[in-house]
Amino acid sequence: MFDVLIQAMKPVFVSLYMVAAVAITVIAVQSLWLTHDYLSWGGVLLVTAPFVVIIGRLMIFRNTARTSARFPMLIVLRPAGNVPGSKGIPVI
């Protein structure tokens, strides 16, 4: 039941994330142009623009694998990071 909900919500999340990222980037460019507040809006652009470019490239060009070849190894290693944290041991 939960897996079905997650699978149904994934496309919605990705779509809304792309719309929000592009909207924030456009607002930042417009605000930078109008206010010349380079520190504030330049910081917003430094955060959002790379996401828009990378995710846009992934969506437009289908030559990039969506799942890494190392994915099964990452699944096996993930619990190893949870064990120290659950025992109260700080992980650096």
Would you state the pLDDT for residue 39? 92
Would you state the pLDDT for residue 59? 77
Residue keyed to tokens 């909207």: 23
pLDDT at 63 > cutoff 60: yes
Residue 35 counted as domain residue? yes
> What's the number of domains the chain is made of?
1
Residue 91 counted as domain residue? no
User: Alpha helices, DSSP H only, in the chain?
Assistant: 2-35, 38-60, 71-86
Q: Which residues constitute the domain of residue 10?
A: 2-86
Higher pLDDT, 60 or 52: 52
Residue 13 counted as domain residue? yes
pLDDT tens by residue, 31-56:
999 999 999 999 999 999 998 888 88
Which tokens in the block code for residue 38? 């380079």
Residue 9 counted as domain residue? yes
pLDDT at 69 > cutoff 80: no
